[in-house]
Amino acid sequence: MHDVDVVVVGAGLAGLSAARTLVGAGRTVAVLEARDRVAGRTLGGFLSNGVPVEMGGQWVGPTQLAALELIEELALKTFPTFDEGDALTVFDGNVVRYSDEDFGLPPESAAEVGRLWEQLEALASAVAVEAPWDTDGAEELDRQTLDGWLVANTEDSIARRFFRVLVPVLFSAETPELSFLHFLFYVRSGTSLETLAATTGGAQERRVLGGTHQISERMSADLGDAVRLNAVVRTIRQDESGVLVEYEGGSITAGRVVVAVPQTLAGRLRYVPPLPALRDGLTQQMPAGSVIKLQVGYDAPFWREDGLSGLVLSLDDALTVVLDNSPHDGSCGVLVGFLEGAHARTASLMGADERRELVIAALVKYFGPKAANPFDIVEQDWTAEEFTRGCYGGRLGAGVWTQYGRALAVPVGRIHWAGAETSTVWNGYMDGAIRSGYRAAAEILEKLP
Amino acid sequence: MHDVDVVVVGAGLAGLSAARTLVGAGRTVAVLEARDRVAGRTLGGFLSNGVPVEMGGQWVGPTQLAALELIEELALKTFPTFDEGDALTVFDGNVVRYSDEDFGLPPESAAEVGRLWEQLEALASAVAVEAPWDTDGAEELDRQTLDGWLVANTEDSIARRFFRVLVPVLFSAETPELSFLHFLFYVRSGTSLETLAATTGGAQERRVLGGTHQISERMSADLGDAVRLNAVVRTIRQDESGVLVEYEGGSITAGRVVVAVPQTLAGRLRYVPPLPALRDGLTQQMPAGSVIKLQVGYDAPFWREDGLSGLVLSLDDALTVVLDNSPHDGSCGVLVGFLEGAHARTASLMGADERRELVIAALVKYFGPKAANPFDIVEQDWTAEEFTRGCYGGRLGAGVWTQYGRALAVPVGRIHWAGAETSTVWNGYMDGAIRSGYRAAAEILEKLP
């Protein structure tokens, strides 16, 4: 009766994982992708010397079991992120080298950061991750922003600044933009703050040889003609008999549909009949973070010779975080840097040359004059992408979880929701995206005759 | 060369005011309206006895010069809102009658409310209303939510509750959902908090005989065939030569376009080329408030006989605010009540009967057993409306004004922005909507050859 059993909107990790599962269970699918490529917020790029670099999501780590298993199933290889030597913290004009866990901060502020960190870990561990609105004290936690909590809980200005920089590194958003409950949920969803922040032992532990976009590309290759590129979905109609998905240039019928795009974009589709108010209201309130990611290529990873790991956290600069992103074979040096949150919003208005100067000046400050002459810089401004409109993901501001959170992943009739932001485990990460696709597929397999 | 000089998207007060001005200046326009009616967030309704009641925006008051002048130009009449007798405040189970300015609160809390009120007025008066991001201390004000400010500035739990109820009455949103800077901007934009809150001398002073929707209907009648109903705009394309506006069922070319819909809906259109990141990001972060408005009809305005004005503010109940909304001729009694913010979100999930019981129980609590038997209740849930998706208007949470505010009303090429939320004067009100239409028309008249 229908053209296919299931239409999937969006060929990122979530949509492709859902489609792959459904096809594996003998169902027919069509995956409609607005872009001329698959892989969504993962995107492969190249430096001018041909070395591949990840322009979007790039790291995997322990407890990200869905991602790690899928990578293995697709016969891709991982390798450890370079993580030897000292890290740098920059504040008040000083570039401080450190190797312990004090982040190079003055002892008093380091202790205060440690105290707050422990408090945050304890509060996060108490979040009801499957239903954050049921967390003990949810309303009070959700009433506050993370910034409000910080101001109320420490007078130490360096400790405040530290978290006000660490948070954009994790969310591409600023501390006032996050509900405190959302922050705690996200930390819990990704195991712990320590896990989110760490390279070895944490979320930045490993990379995929050749780039993470291959995960999507290999799934897409297996799906063959089922994946249709340049299909900009605009309207989803549903009635008792099924769904009709209209895209620019055509339409397709199915029994069910998986909408696997960021929530803010899901809200831009037209739904007939209209979505319930709570679901619509949620999509009005999950704005995406802002990030410009830069990959800077050097002839060699010269910082390693100085005993540096390449990791930098700056409380002073727009380029707040840098990591070593050199290829596995060390054939050249690559530093990956991020302009995040407020810094991305400002830098997005600059010309490319001005942004390049800003980045190189910061790298010279961190690593010395050798950083002045990269052979190439490639950059990706995710806020400018029509079919992403911001990374890393959608965030919930004060009050949203407790009032709207219930609508995040609950199907609306024949419409199922996927995407990294709908996952209770590793929410916002590649692993969460994959899990959300599996979850949506499971929902559908249970329903389909 | 073009079908018309200007296309206007949205036939609410903003769009029609823009179109009327353009036509008055000799330009040709087409107004595309998604609904089968004009008037947007103003909507006429009737009680079962034929008495007209306003289902959306309804009051006008001093300093709302654009609205008052337009009403006069269109030969509509206004009349004063009934405002004689005592008001009621409900808290901790008590229904307290008062006639002074203490809101019936215990003296200590009343004094504290007064102190906070004065502080808010003083802070609001210092806002740079044309450019809130340039206000002294804008970043610190925008970093806080209004709730955060309250918690930091008073220990009085009744005073906190008072503002946590007053704010939804004004915004249909909760105190944590508003940037403190946005709250102050909005107050300043509408003159003062006193003006926003007051009936006589304030924003609720007068009503339009027959209903405010007639303002739009009369403008629309004058525009004749230029207004096209049931035209759901989906895509706006622009290039050097003009704009192409595509709606479901057709398309139309013009030199310029005015998008006069709430910002959250403006973000749902497709723009080719895509909008700049800052403008797109803003539309991701101006969610609409939540309100269900109820008009409750009685044979007579019986509360007046008890010396009551009909005004109620309850710190205890979901039906937080009630006013006398009887017709000018007193031919029956009407109470208008609002479920706002969190209460609207909860009540929106109830059945109509359950909601009706909740409302009547509250009215009996406030006004006694005579309130138990209305001859009719009509209600309007604005969050359920596909082409509004919430009232009273879009709000800015913490951090949005200072980072994104610049993009609110600045044209993008041939696209001009109107709507109540783009006005610097009476932002969010009917008056602001009309002013924004005039402003957008003026921008265009300056540009057109």
The DSSP-derived string for A377-400 is EEEEEGGG-TTT-SSS-B---TTH
On whether both B153 and B121 belong to a single domain, the answer is yes
For tokens 């990704």, the residue is A190
Q: Which pLDDT does position A67 carry in this prediction? A: 98
Residues B41, B392 contacting (CB under 8 angstroms)? yes
Rounded to a whole number of angstroms, the distance from the CA of A206 to the nearest CA of chain B is 31
Q: Is residue B264 situated within a structural domain?
A: yes
Cα-based torsion angle of the residue sequence A353, A359, A361, A367 in order, rounded to the nearest 10 degrees: -150
For tokens 């490319």, the residue is A352
Q: What is the mean pLDDT of residues B323-352?
A: 96
Residue A349: pLDDT band (50, 70, 90) is very high
Rounded Cα distance, B335 and B324, in Å:
5
- Binary contact (A277, B287; C-beta < 8 A): no
Residues B5, B426 contacting (CB under 8 angstroms)? no
Residues B333, B326 contacting (CB under 8 angstroms)? yes
Q: Which pLDDT does position A448 carry in this prediction? A: 83
On whether both B186 and B107 belong to a single domain, the answer is yes
Listed residues B169, B197, B225: the one ending a domain: B197
Tell me the pLDDT of chain B averaged across its residues.
97
CATH code: domain of residue B443: 3.50.50.60
Q: Would the ipTM clear 0.85, i.e. be above it?
A: yes
What is the tens place of the pLDDT at every residue in B28-85? Answer: 999 999 999 999 999 999 999 999 999 999 999 999 999 999 999 999 999 999 999 9
- Binary contact (A278, B174; C-beta < 8 A): no
Torsional sign, CA A263, A264, A265, A269: positive
Rounded Cα distance, A98 and A106, in Å:
11
Rounded Cα distance, A6 and A22, in Å:
8
B424 pLDDT higher than 90: yes
On whether both A180 and A226 belong to a single domain, the answer is no
Q: Is residue A351 situated within a structural domain?
A: no
CATH code: domain of residue B155: 1.10.405.10
Beta strands in B273-406 (DSSP E): 291-298, 308-314, 319-324, 333-340, 376-381
On whether both B34 and B183 belong to a single domain, the answer is no
- Residues of chain B found within 8 Å of residue A349, distances taken between Cβ atoms: 278
Nearest Cβ partner of A342 from B152, B270, B403?
Answer: B403
A102 pLDDT higher than 90: no
Across A78-82, A100-104, A198-202, least confident range: A100-104
Rounded to a whole number of angstroms, the distance from the CA of A258 to the nearest CA of chain B is 19
Partner B contacted by A142 (CB < 8 A): yes
On whether both B120 and B186 belong to a single domain, the answer is yes
What is the tens place of the pLDDT at every residue in A369-424? Answer: 999 999 999 999 999 999 999 999 999 999 999 999 999 999 999 999 999 999 99
- Binary contact (B277, A384; C-beta < 8 A): yes
- Number of Cβ within 10 Å of residue B246's Cβ equals 19
Rounded to a whole number of angstroms, the distance from the CA of B303 to the nearest CA of chain A is 35
Nearest to B256 by CA among B66, B16, B14, B442: B442
Q: Is residue A329 situated within a structural domain?
A: no
Residue A320: pLDDT band (50, 70, 90) is very high
Per the structure, the count of domains in chain B is: 2
A449 pLDDT higher than 90: no
Residues A278, B345 contacting (CB under 8 angstroms)? yes
Helices (H), A262-319: 263-266, 277-283, 302-305
Nearest chain B residue to A235 by CA distance is: B234
Residue A26: pLDDT band (50, 70, 90) is very high
On whether both B30 and B162 belong to a single domain, the answer is no
Q: Is residue B80 situated within a structural domain?
A: no
Partner A contacted by B340 (CB < 8 A): no
Cα dist from B101 to A55, A185, A310, B89, B256, whole Å: 60, 43, 63, 12, 50
Residue B246: pLDDT band (50, 70, 90) is very high
On whether both B93 and B239 belong to a single domain, the answer is no
Nearest chain A residue to B246 by CA distance is: A248
Q: Is residue B276 situated within a structural domain?
A: yes
- Residues of chain B found within 8 Å of residue A379, distances taken between Cβ atoms: none
On whether both B108 and B34 belong to a single domain, the answer is no
Q: Is residue B295 situated within a structural domain?
A: no
Q: Which pLDDT does position B106 carry in this prediction? A: 94
Q: What predicted TM-score, i.e. pTM, was given to this entire model?
A: 0.97
Instruction: Look at residue A137 and give its three-state secondary structure.
Output: coil
Rounded Cα distance, B194 and B212, in Å:
23
- Residues of chain A found within 8 Å of residue B281, distances taken between Cβ atoms: 287-288, 290, 345, 383, 389-390
Domain coverage including residue B155: 86-197
- Interface residue of B284, B292, B349 to substitute, partner A, most A CBs within 10 Å: B284
Instruction: Look at residue A180 and give its three-state secondary structure.
Output: helix
Residues B22, B441 contacting (CB under 8 angstroms)? yes
Nearest Cβ partner of A278 from B281, B288, B345?
Answer: B345
Q: What is the mean pLDDT of residues A106-121?
A: 97
Nearest Cβ partner of B386 from A142, A143, A274?
Answer: A274
B449 pLDDT higher than 90: no
- Pairing mode, if any, of strands A52-54 and A250-259? unpaired
On whether both B92 and B168 belong to a single domain, the answer is yes
- Residues of chain B found within 8 Å of residue A284, distances taken between Cβ atoms: 264, 286-288, 389-390
- Binary contact (A403, B270; C-beta < 8 A): no
What is the tens place of the pLDDT at every residue in A223-273? Answer: 999 999 999 999 999 999 999 999 999 999 999 999 999 999 999 999 999
Q: Is residue A314 situated within a structural domain?
A: no
Q: Which pLDDT does position B448 carry in this prediction? A: 83
Residues B199, B193 contacting (CB under 8 angstroms)? no
Rounded to a whole number of angstroms, the distance from the CA of A382 to the nearest CA of chain B is 9
Question: Rounded to 5 degrees, what angle do the CA atoms B367, B372, B375 make?
Answer: 115
Nearest Cβ partner of A145 from B284, B390, B398?
Answer: B398
Question: Rounded to 5 degrees, what angle do the CA atoms A148, A151, A152 make?
Answer: 85
On whether both B281 and B420 belong to a single domain, the answer is yes
Query: Residue-wise over A30-44: b if at least 16 C-beta within 10 A, else e?
Result: bbbbbbeebbbbbbb
Measure CA A434 to chain center: 12
A434 pLDDT higher than 90: yes
Nearest to B56 by CA among B48, B69, B45: B45
Rounded Cα distance, B398 and A397, in Å:
8
B100 pLDDT higher than 90: no
Partner A contacted by B232 (CB < 8 A): yes
Q: Residue type for A422, please?
A: T
Nearest Cβ partner of B268 from A174, A267, A290?
Answer: A267
- Residues of chain B found within 8 Å of residue A399, distances taken between Cβ atoms: 174, 176-177, 342
What is the tens place of the pLDDT at every residue in A139-177? Answer: 999 999 999 999 999 999 999 999 999 999 999 999 999
Nearest chain A residue to B180 by CA distance is: A176
Cα-based torsion angle of the residue sequence B118, B120, B123, B124 in order, rounded to the nearest 10 degrees: -110
Instruction: Look at residue B240 and give its three-state secondary structure.
Output: coil
Percent of chain A with pLDDT over 70: 100
- The strand pairing partners of A252, in sequence order, are A245
Nearest chain B residue to A270 by CA distance is: B268
Partner B contacted by A268 (CB < 8 A): yes
Residue B1: pLDDT band (50, 70, 90) is confident
On whether both B113 and B150 belong to a single domain, the answer is yes
On whether both B188 and B122 belong to a single domain, the answer is yes
Q: Is residue A360 situated within a structural domain?
A: no
